[in-house]
Chain A
Amino acid sequence: MVRYIIPLVVFILLVILLSVGLQKDPRLVPSPLIGKPAPAFELPVLGSPDQSFNQQQMLGKVWLFNVWASWCVACRSEHPLINDLASLKLVEIIGLNYKDAPSDAQKWLNHLGNPYQTSVMDSNGRVGIDWGVYGVPETFLVDKKGIIRFKQIGPVTQEVLQDSIIPLIKQLQAE
C-alpha cells in the first residue's frame, strides 16, 4: 500500500509546487527599492525645458510617480486609469517621460489627456536606471517622508488601482 501512496504524495506535492509557480508572474521582479528613499533626480520639465524639477519638491506630500513614454503601447492602455485617478484628486501624479522625444510626448498628452501635475524628461534613461525601471509603464507610490512604499511593474489595472493603490494612498495620507 505504502509503495502506492509515496508516489501519489510526491505527485501531489509537485502539482502544488508547480501550480503555485504558475500563478506567479516571472516578469515581476521584487523591487529592492520598496521601503527605501526615492532616488534623487533633477530633470527638465516636459513642455518647459528650461525649468527643472527634483523629487525633494514633493517632500511632505504623498505622490505617485508614473513612468511612461509615447512609444509604449501598454502605457496607452493604462492611461485612462491614470486619468481617472487624477480626476479623484487624491494624490499628486508626477510623470517620468522615459526615453522619449519631447514633441511625441507632448502630442501624446494632448491626444490622451494629461493627468500629470508635472512630467519630467528622462531622455537618456539614466534616472530610470536609478529607479530600477525595466518595463515601462511602472508606477511608484512615495510617502510624505519620500520613501517608496509601492511599485507596480507593467500597466496599472482597475483591480490594482481599486484594491492596492487607492487604499494605500488613503493610508499614507493619514500617516
Chain B
Amino acid sequence: MARILFLLALFTFVPCAQAAVEINQFSDPQHEARYKKLIDELRCLVCQNQNLADSNAELAQDLRAQVYKMIEAGNSDQEIIDFMVMRYGDFVLYRPPFKLRTAMLWAGPFLLLIFGIGYLVIYLRRQTRKTETKLSTDEQQQANALLGMQEDENK
C-alpha cells in the first residue's frame, strides 16, 4: 500500500519537474533530433563548461530559443553553427575546427602520447639491458648458494 502511495506521489510530481524546461513544438521529429544535437554541441558562453542543453543561464535559454527558431525556419545545421561562430567565435563549438590557433588543442594529446610511448620504450630498453649484465663466477656461486638455501627451507 505504502509503495503504491509512493508511486502515486512520484507521478504527481512528474509534470512539475518538466515545467522548468521550455517546451518546444517541433513540426517534424527530425527537427527535434537536430535541435537536441545542436544544443548538445554548442557551448554556453556564460558558464563555459556547460553546453546549451545543460545550462540554465539566461543567455543559454535565449540561444536555445534562437536555435529552435532557426531550425523551424528551415536553416541548415551549418547555417546555425555559422550564425553562432560569427557572433561568439569558435569558442561556442565543443568541436572547434582545425586551424593554426587550435592546432595544439587537437594535436597536443597525440603528441603527448607519442612522447610518452617513446619515453617508455627507451626506459624499458635501458632496464632490460641492466638486468642482462652477467654476474661474475663468485657472485654466481654466492647466488646459487643463497637460492639453494632458500629451496631447502621451502622443502
Contacts and interface: CB of A to CB of B under 8 A. Distances in A.
A148 to B, nearest CB: 12
Contacts of A33: 87
A116 interface: no
B45 A135 contact: yes
Given A129-B63, A135-B45, A135-B46, A32 B86 contact: yes
Contacts, number: 38
Most buried by B among A31, A32, A33, A128: A32
Given A26-B48, A29-B91, A99-B58, A129 B66 contact: yes
Interface residues on B, range: 10 to 19
A109 B89 CA distance: 32
Nearest to A133: B59
Interface string B39-81: 0000001101000000000110011001000000000000000
26 contacts: A27-B48, A29-B88, A29-B89, A30-B91, A31-B89, A32-B85, A32-B86, A32-B87, A32-B88, A32-B89, A33-B87, A99-B58, A124-B62, A125-B62, A128-B62, A129-B63, A129-B66, A129-B87, A130-B87, A131-B87, A132-B87, A132-B89, A134-B45, A134-B46, A134-B59, A135-B45
